[in-house]
């Protein structure tokens, strides 16, 4: 059979154009770290491999019109996927996952936040799709192919050979890439954006099936690990220090530790919070790390209530909001506590209405409980000062003892502020996000100071403890150049990036008198056991991965959701083991007398802790994906 072979078939042109476009996005729009020439080679190769694999499928269409239609719509859909990832990356320095595609109900509330992430030059991302669309319409006869079956099989075989070669290089560069896939950047860097999305689809399907096949046999191994490596059997000196008191927990939106006791333009950023670090009734934790994933504020809530890790993909509030849990509100309810969340936002955002029911939270005071006007709201909703002011009446009316969590809104990306609410000048750098962050944080600080005064006036203060915790970072790695300017550093290293995941934690106990600055390495995973300890509530048969913040027998490390960790001595990130205090990479033989020179730092000083971290994250995931708490009978607390 004779067939007409064009000089350059359109699927080849499309592969080249799309590959070039994707590589440019990798290098200039994604902040992907490259440590050696092999990583550079893999990053350059993988977009072309992915593009050829997809576009070469067009040769299997017999009719030229269908072949051309496949190419132009594939180019358009692929470009939309790239564009969505670019916009998402600008805010979260991360790549979108399939579970997040099912969180579309949140989009209506994002509003101006999304618009600020879209740049005029983003239109250039669609140039190659437009060229392919034009050529498929105007040059159909010249650019289509009519291969025999052997030619089609050859095109497919070539695609698979290239893909296998890409995966082989990736595995050589990053061994166990697919078995330790906590870090999405490593996946994109090594196998490409589109292969990452295909892998994500496979993982999503696998995890969704875990609940169906779970039978509870997984629990003994998890419980054994917790008993041997996590659980503390001796009570700390702070056990019962707040017995019978109300707990008022402030989830402080996007508040990071670097602003505490720091200045901008010669002025303190957080004068009130700074004063709390010296308050005799306040315990301030200066090495407290956020451990959230893609769920941000909802992930921080999940950590607080359960002492389980959020998922590495999507928001657990959305994906597993109907699971059974043994959360803090349920445990303290048996001791007479009522629980509530106050947050001037709609109940469906992050699927709060569903998840709060699973967590056995008694009441949710959402946007309908507040008087919200154009004058007292901005950005995501009610400003912090009127939010706290309007919340006082609800706190006064609650049956005591109560546990109430208040979630603030104003200090949220893009950190918009009305002029009358701005009391310090913005920072001056190339990042408007960082510049505007400081006035927004100052406003939150002023709101918290007023809140303390209002609690005292209302009569609620003396019988309560007040916890203030930053829920997650507000300034992503995309603003590292500006951040290095503010911190006076030449650059933000991977070590610095982990340190920027510190968020403030204040535990204020009126009348305690023994408050101090705590320097131990701690994290959000520790909040549940700590609150139970302070309230004098034992929960020995519980399943969780945190420790009491005040215990001297802590496990000595905290895991970050991407598989990195911080210990008393080390920080492990980006495949490097750093000294936690100095920030210097650990020598190959450090921390292991038997180490040999060819071993990497992580294989020596950090490897033993890394093994535990991987198990913790895996076991926590198993509990959630398998909905394993439904197989556990916790019984009633003594």
pLDDT tens by residue, 506-535: 999 999 999 999 999 999 999 999 999 999
Residues 326 and 178 reside in one and the same domain: no
Displacement of CA 115 from its chain's centroid (Å): 21
Least trusted range by pLDDT, from 130-144, 195-209, 308-322, 525-539: 195-209
Is the pLDDT at 485 greater than 60? The verdict is: yes
Residue 601: per-residue pLDDT: 44
Name which of 509, 529, 457 is nearest 245 in CA terms. Answer: 509
Instruction: Over range 194-202, report the average pLDDT.
Output: 84
Residues 41 and 61 reside in one and the same domain: yes
Residue 365: φ, ψ to 5°: -95, 95
Domain assignment of residue 286, yes or no: yes
Percent of the chain with pLDDT over 70: 91
Instruction: 270-277: list long-range contacts, CB under 8 Å, 24+ apart.
Output: 270/441, 270/442, 270/445, 271/445, 272/445, 272/446, 272/448, 272/449, 272/452, 273/445, 273/448, 273/468, 273/504, 273/506, 276/468, 276/506, 276/508, 277/506, 277/517
Is the pLDDT at 112 greater than 70? The verdict is: no
> Looking at 176, 210, 244, which one is the last position of a domain?
210
Least trusted range by pLDDT, from 115-119, 177-181, 208-212: 177-181
Residues 176 and 255 reside in one and the same domain: no
Q: How many CA atoms lie within 13 A of 447 on its CB side?
A: 29
Instruction: Over range 238-244, report the average pLDDT.
Output: 96
Q: What is the CATH number of the domain that holds 495?
A: 3.40.720.10
Mean pLDDT, the chain, whole residue set: 88
Cα–Cα dist 15/522, whole Å: 48
Cα–Cα dist 78/264, whole Å: 43
Task: Check residue 217 and report its DSSP letter.
Answer: T
Is the pLDDT at 591 greater than 70? The verdict is: no
Is the pLDDT at 123 greater than 70? The verdict is: yes
Residues 419 and 531 reside in one and the same domain: yes
Residues 168 and 297 reside in one and the same domain: no
Helices (DSSP H) in 291-431: which residue ranges? 296-306, 316-319, 328-333, 352-358, 384-397
Residues 276 and 321 reside in one and the same domain: yes
Is the pLDDT at 269 greater than 90? The verdict is: yes
Residues 172 and 98 reside in one and the same domain: yes
Domain assignment of residue 4, yes or no: no
> Looking at 146, 176, 210, which one is the last position of a domain?
210
Residues 164 and 307 reside in one and the same domain: no
Tokens matching residue 422: 């701005």
> Looking at 210, 240, 263, which one is the last position of a domain?
210
Residues 200 and 239 reside in one and the same domain: no
Q: Calculate the alpha carbon distances from 424 to 252, 268, 420, 443, 553 in Å.
A: 19, 9, 11, 9, 43
Give the global pTM. Answer: 0.79
Q: How many domains does the chain have?
A: 2
Residues 292 and 179 reside in one and the same domain: no
Cis status of the peptide bond prior to 414, with omega within 30 of 0: yes
**Maximum separation of any 2 CA atoms in the chain, in Å:** 93
Domain assignment of residue 404, yes or no: yes
Domain assignment of residue 568, yes or no: no
Domain assignment of residue 572, yes or no: no
Is the pLDDT at 109 greater than 70? The verdict is: no
Domain assignment of residue 584, yes or no: no
297 assigned to active site = yes
The string of pLDDT tens digits covering residues 365-375 is 999 999 999 99
Domain assignment of residue 620, yes or no: yes
Tokens matching residue 628: 């394993």
Least trusted range by pLDDT, from 166-170, 266-270, 614-618, 632-636: 632-636
Measured distance between the N- and C-terminal CA atoms of the chain, rounded to whole angstroms = 84
Q: Give the three-state DSSP class for 400.
A: coil
Residue 604: per-residue pLDDT: 67
Query: Which residue range(s) make up the domain with 70?
Result: 10-210
Reported as a pLDDT band with limits 50, 70 and 90, residue 88 is: confident
Task: Compute, in degrees rounded to 10, the torsion defined by CA atoms 613, 614, 618, 621.
Answer: 60
Residues 147 and 164 reside in one and the same domain: yes
Cα–Cα dist 342/297, whole Å: 14
The string of pLDDT tens digits covering residues 135-154 is 988 887 777 778 788 888 88
Tokens matching residue 604: 């020596």
Domain assignment of residue 601, yes or no: no
Q: Under a CB-based contact definition with an 8 Å cutoff, are residues 314 and 103 in contact?
A: yes
Is the pLDDT at 610 greater than 80? The verdict is: yes
Is the pLDDT at 268 greater than 80? The verdict is: yes
Residues 231 and 170 reside in one and the same domain: no
Among the options 207, 297, 338, 493, which is catalytic? 297
């Amino acid at each position: 059979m004779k067939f007409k072979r064009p000089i350059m078939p359109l699927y080849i042109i499309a592969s080249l154009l799309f590959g070039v476009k994707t590589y440019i996005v990798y290098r200039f729009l994604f902040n992907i770290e490259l440590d050696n020439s092999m990583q550079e080679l893999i990053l350059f190769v993988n977009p072309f491999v992915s593009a050829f694999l997809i576009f070469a499928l067009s040769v299997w269409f017999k009719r030229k019109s269908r072949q051309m239609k496949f190419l132009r719509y594939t180019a358009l859909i692929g470009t939309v996927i790239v564009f969505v990832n670019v916009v998402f990356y600008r805010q979260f320095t991360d790549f979108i996952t399939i579970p997040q595609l099912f969180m579309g109900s949140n989009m209506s509330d994002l509003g101006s936040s999304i618009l600020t992430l879209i740049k005029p030059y983003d239109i250039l991302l669609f140039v190659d799709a437009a060229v392919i669309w034009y050529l498929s319409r105007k040059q159909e006869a010249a650019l289509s192919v009519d291969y025999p079956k052997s030619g089609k099989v050859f095109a497919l075989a070539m695609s698979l050979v290239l893909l296998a070669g890409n995966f082989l290089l990736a595995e050589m560069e990053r061994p166990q890439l697919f078995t330790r896939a906590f870090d999405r950047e490593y996946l994109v860097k090594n196998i490409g954006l589109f292969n990452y999305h295909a892998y994500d689809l496979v993982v999503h399907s696998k995890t969704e099936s875990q609940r169906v096949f779970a039978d509870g046999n997984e629990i003994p191994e998890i419980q054994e690990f917790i008993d041997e490596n996590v659980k503390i059997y001796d009570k700390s000196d702070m056990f019962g220090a707040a017995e019978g008191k109300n707990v008022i927990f402030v989830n402080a939106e996007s508040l990071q530790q670097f602003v505490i006791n720091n200045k901008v333009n010669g002025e303190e950023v957080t004068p009130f919070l700074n004063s709390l670090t010296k308050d005799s009734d306040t315990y301030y934790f200066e090495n407290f790390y956020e451990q959230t994933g893609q769920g941000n504020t909802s992930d921080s809530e999940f950590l607080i209530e359960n002492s389980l890790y959020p998922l590495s993909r999507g928001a657990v509030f959305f994906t597993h909001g109907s699971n059974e849990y043994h959360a803090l509100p349920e445990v303290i309810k048996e001791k007479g506590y009522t629980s509530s969340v106050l947050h001037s936002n709609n109940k469906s955002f992050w699927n709060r209405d569903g998840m709060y029911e699973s967590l056995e939270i008694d009441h949710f005071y959402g946007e309908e409980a507040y008087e919200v006007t154009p004058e007292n709201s901005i950005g995501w909703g009610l400003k912090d000062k009127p939010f706290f002011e309007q919340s006082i009446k609800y706190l006064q009316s609650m049956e005591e003892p109560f546990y109430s969590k208040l979630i603030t809104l104003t200090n949220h990306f893009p950190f918009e502020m009305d002029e009358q609410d701005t009391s310090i000048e913005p920072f001056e750098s190339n990042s408007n996000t960082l510049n505007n962050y400081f006035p927004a944080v100052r406003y939150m600080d002023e709101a918290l100071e007023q809140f303390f005064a209002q609690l005292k006036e209302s009569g609620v203060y003396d019988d309560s403890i007040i916890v203030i915790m930053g829920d997650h970072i507000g300034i992503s790695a995309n603003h590292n150049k500006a951040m290095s300017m503010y911190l006076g550093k030449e650059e933000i290293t991977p070590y610095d990036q982990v340190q920027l995941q510190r968020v403030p934690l204040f535990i204020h106990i009126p009348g305690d008198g023994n408050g101090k600055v705590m320097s131990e390495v701690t994290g959000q995973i520790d909040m549940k056991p700590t609150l139970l300890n302070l309230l004098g509530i034992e929960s020995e048969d519980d399943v969780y991965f945190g420790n009491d913040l005040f215990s001297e027998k802590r496990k000595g490390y905290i895991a970050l959701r991407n598989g990195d960790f911080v210990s008393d001595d080390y920080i492990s990130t980006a495949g490097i083991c750093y000294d936690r205090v100095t920030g210097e990479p650990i020598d190959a033989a450090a921390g292991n007398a038997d180490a040999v020179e060819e071993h990497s730092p992580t294989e020596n000083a950090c490897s033993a802790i890394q093994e535990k971290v991987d198990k913790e994250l895996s076991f926590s995931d198993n509990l959630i994906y398998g909905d394993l708490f439904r197989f556990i009978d916790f019984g009633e607390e003594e």
